[in-house]
């Protein structure tokens, strides 16, 4: 089996390279940090795989194309492509520099696009293959204070779903999306940060090798989407059953208190524009040596989510119980819209009432409409701008039906075209025929 892995110098990518090497895979490893990549390739060869290192910036399409060409030259192609290279960025949305958001999208979105395109071309030509896109739990529930990253992971998930649909007639070509929870990797040390506080991995944290193992299983038995970690599954469920406001408030507080340290941190671009030479390893040091401590930290978080879901379900049921009668009866009665009227616009129409007398409708420059029919006069709250091609015909139910708008005049340039208020309108109910004589200047 031949596999290409991007972002292979650290974190999930590095763990996946080691997992594949233990299975005897031939590997084409890509990342920006060449020295770190060579270390990974050497270890993969010792583990039983056959690996080459190809320094690649996935934000540059020509380099991704060259990566695919190198796989073709060295191994005759590839069976699996793992899109994994990504960068992180923290901060309040309005305070993050636009150029940093753009750079994140170049790596996290366009890097995946370039990889997916070369992979799909290769798979179509050979008739089989598996594309694995590493997304995030954030693409299921969102994540405050890391909105650009979250947007990019939603994009990856959306691309994966849509590619699966587009390739539905290709039985042997598979697109898989992996949605990990919080993983013990150096992404938090490498991420850009504009929060003013140092970043840490929020509990509960799981080891990167669990994600690597899930990716390996997808090469044997592809699935459209898999989550890794109980937190992913729990939060997805709570997002579905809890009222949005309750869940969002809980998540905001959890991230604010659990994702950042108390120590201050100045603006930091991290590895957005260039690789960092430190923390190029699988783990980020976020898992304590005593696994019991991890379980102890995990319980309050999961318990909080369970409580949010239970309260949310209760509130939903209470809310449902307050409604009586039909749904339409609960809706507020819409008020007529008020539109500005051109200062020089007046419209007059003739109308035949139920009694046969002729009334007129005039629309003043202030937007009020008055009607006189026989001996009845009243204000009619239907204000909208007039134009030469927009004569208004209105009538309350008390006037009955009749022929509407056979003639009209307008101070605007152009010929008048009568419009009839539709039957059933709460303000009219007029069922007469439209006028046939155009208005005159």
Q: Indicate whether 407 pLDDT > 50.
A: no
> Does 67 fall in a domain?
yes
* 225 and 360 assigned to the same domain: no
pLDDT band at 247 (very low <50, low <70, confident <90, very high): low
Query: Which of the two residues, 391 and 88, has the higher pLDDT score?
Result: 88
Could you tell me if 38 and 174 lie in one domain? Answer: yes
Annotated catalytic sites, by residue? Answer: 149
Whether residue 136 is found in the same domain as residue 228:
yes
Q: Clarify whether residues 44 and 144 are in a common domain.
A: yes
| pLDDT, position 78 | 99
Which carries the bigger pLDDT value, residue 260 or residue 274?
274
- Residue 256 is encoded by which pair of tokens? 């604010």
Residue 433 lies in a domain: yes
Is residue 71 located within the same domain as residue 197? Answer: yes
Give the CA distances from residue 234 to residues 20, 47, 146, 287, 407, in Å, rounded to whole numbers and listed in that order.
Answer: 29, 35, 20, 20, 68
173 assigned to some structural domain: yes
Burial (0-12, 13-18, 19+ Cβ within 10 Å), 232: buried
Cβ atoms < 10 Å from Cβ of 378: 11
Distance CA 113, CA 213 (A): 24
User: How many CB atoms within 10 Å of residue 422?
Assistant: 10
CA distance 108 to 157: 12
Mean pLDDT calculated for residue range 387-395:
39
Tokens 């004569």 label which residue? 391
- The reply to whether 221 and 348 lie within a common domain is no
**Burial class (CB within 10 angstroms; exposed 0-12, middle 13-18, buried 19+) of 406:** middle
Between 344 and 26, residue with greater pLDDT: 26
Same domain? 285 vs 385? no
Question: Would you say residue 404 has pLDDT above 50?
Answer: no
Q: Residue 345: what pLDDT?
A: 41
**Average of pLDDT values for 119-132?**
98
The CATH number linked to 193 is 3.40.50.720
The percent of residues above 70 in pLDDT, for the chain, comes to 59
Between 172 and 327, whose confidence is greater?
172
Provide the pairing of β-strand 225-228 with 260-264. unpaired
Q: Are residues 204 and 58 in the same domain?
A: yes
pLDDT digits (tens, 9 = 90+) for 369-388: 333 333 333 343 444 444 43
pLDDT of residue 332: 45
This prediction's pTM? 0.66
Q: Can you give the pLDDT at residue 319? A: 54
One domain, residues 195 and 48: yes
Q: Across the chain, what does the average pLDDT equal?
A: 76
Count CB-CB contacts under 10 A for residue 256. Answer: 13
Least confident of 145-154, 299-308, 355-364, 425-434: 355-364
* pLDDT classification of 46: cutoffs 50, 70, 90: very high
> Residue 405 sits in which domain range?
336-441
Categorize the per-residue pLDDT at 203 as very low, low, confident or very high, splitting at 50, 70 and 90. Answer: confident
Peptide bond into 426 cis (omega under 30): no
pLDDT tens per residue across span 150-163: 999 999 999 999 99
Looking at 290, 325, 359, the residue that finishes a domain is: 290
Helix/strand/coil (H, E, C) string of the chain? CEEEEECCCCHHHHHHHHHHHHCCCEEEEEECCHHHHHHHHHHHHHHCCEEEEEECCCCCHHHHHHHHHHHHHHHCCCCEEEECCCCCEECCHHHCCHHHHHHHHHHHHHHHHHHHHHHHHHHHHHCCEEEEEECCCHHHHCCCCCHHHHHHHHHHHHHHHHHHHHCCCCCCEEEEEEEECCEECCHHHHCEECCCEEECCCCCCEEHHHHHHHHHHHHHCCCCEEEECHHHHHHHHHHHHCCHHHHHHHHHHHHHHHCEEEEECCCECCCCCCCCCCCCCCCCCCCCCCHHHHHHHHHHHHHHHHHHHHHHHHHHHHHHHCCCCCHHHHCCCCCCCCCCCCCCCCEEEEEECCCCCEEEEEECCCCCEEEEECCEEEEECCCCCCECCEECCCCCHHHCCCCEEEEEEECCCCCECECCCCCCCCCCCCCCCCCCCCEEC
Report if residue 392 sits inside a domain. yes
Do 6 and 83 share a domain, yes or no?
yes
Which pLDDT score, from 0 to 100, does residue 184 have?
97
Residue 134, pLDDT above cutoff 80: yes
Asked if 97 and 155 sit in the same domain, the reply is: yes
Domain boundary among 220, 255, 290: 290
104 occurs within a structural domain: yes
Q: What is the pLDDT of residues 313-324, one digit of tens each?
A: 445 555 554 433
284 shares its domain with 372? no
The answer as to whether 209 is a domain residue is yes
Mean pLDDT to the nearest integer, 238-256 = 62
Q: How many domains does the chain have?
A: 2
Is 253 contained in some domain? no
Reading the block at residue 70, the tokens are 């190198």
Report the distance separating Cα 102 and Cα 89, nearest Å: 11
- Within a domain: 216: yes
For residue 394, pLDDT beyond 60: no
Question: What share of the chain has pLDDT > 90, as a percent?
Answer: 53
Please name the residues in contact with 181: beta carbons below 8 A apart, sequence gap of 6 or more. Answer: 137, 204, 206, 227, 228, 229, 230, 231, 232, 235
């Amino acid at each position: 089996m031949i596999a290409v892995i991007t972002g292979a110098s650290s974190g999930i990518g590095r763990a996946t390279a080691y997992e594949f090497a233990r299975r005897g895979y031939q590997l084409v490893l890509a990342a920006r940090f060449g020295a770190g990549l060579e270390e990974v390739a050497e270890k993969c060869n010792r583990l039983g795989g056959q690996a080459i290192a190809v320094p690649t910036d996935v934000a540059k399409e020509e380099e991704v194309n060259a990566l695919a060409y190198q796989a073709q030259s060295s191994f005759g192609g590839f069976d699996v492509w793992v899109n994994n290279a990504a960068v992180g960025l923290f901060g309040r949305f309005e305070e993050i520099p636009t150029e940093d958001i753009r750079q994140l999208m170049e790596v996290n979105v366009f890097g995946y696009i370039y990889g997916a395109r070369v992979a799909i071309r290769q798979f179509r030509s050979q008739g089989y293959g598996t594309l694995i896109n590493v997304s995030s739990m954030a693409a299921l529930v969102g994540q405050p204070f890391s909105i650009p990253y979250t947007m990019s992971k939603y994009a990856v998930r959306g691309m994966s779903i849509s590619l699966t649909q587009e390739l539905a007639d290709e039985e042997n070509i598979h697109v898989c999306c992996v949605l990990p929870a919080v993983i013990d990797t150096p992404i938090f040390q490498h991420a850009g940060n504009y929060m003013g506080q140092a970043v840490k991995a929020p509990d509960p944290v799981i080891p990167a090798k669990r994600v690597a193992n899930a990716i390996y299983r997808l090469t044997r038995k592809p699935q459209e989407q898999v989550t890794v970690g109980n937190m992913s599954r729990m939060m997805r469920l709570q997002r579905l059953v809890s009222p949005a406001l309750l869940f969002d408030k809980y998540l905001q507080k959890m991230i604010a208190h659990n994702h950042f340290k108390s120590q201050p941190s100045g603006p930091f671009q991290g590895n957005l524009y260039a690789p960092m030479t430190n923390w190029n390893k699988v783990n980020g040091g976020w898992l304590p040596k005593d696994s019991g401590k991890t379980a102890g930290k995990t319980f309050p978080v999961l318990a909080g989510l369970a409580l949010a879901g239970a309260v949310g379900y209760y509130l939903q049921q209470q809310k449902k119980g307050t409604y009586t009668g039909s749904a339409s009866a609960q809706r507020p009665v819409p008020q007529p819209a008020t539109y500005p009227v051109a200062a020089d616009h007046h419209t007059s129409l003739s109308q035949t009432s139920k009694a046969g007398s002729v009334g007129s409708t005039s629309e003043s420059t202030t937007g009020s409409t008055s009607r006189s029919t026989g001996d009845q006069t009243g204000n009619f709250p239907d204000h909208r701008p007039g134009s030469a091609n927009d004569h208004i015909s209105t009538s309350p139910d008390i006037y009955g039906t009749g022929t509407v708008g056979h003639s009209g005049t307008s101070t605007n340039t152009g010929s008048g075209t009568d419009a009839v208020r539709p039957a059933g309108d709460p303000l009219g109910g007029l069922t007469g025929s439209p006028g046939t004589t155009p208005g005159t200047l």
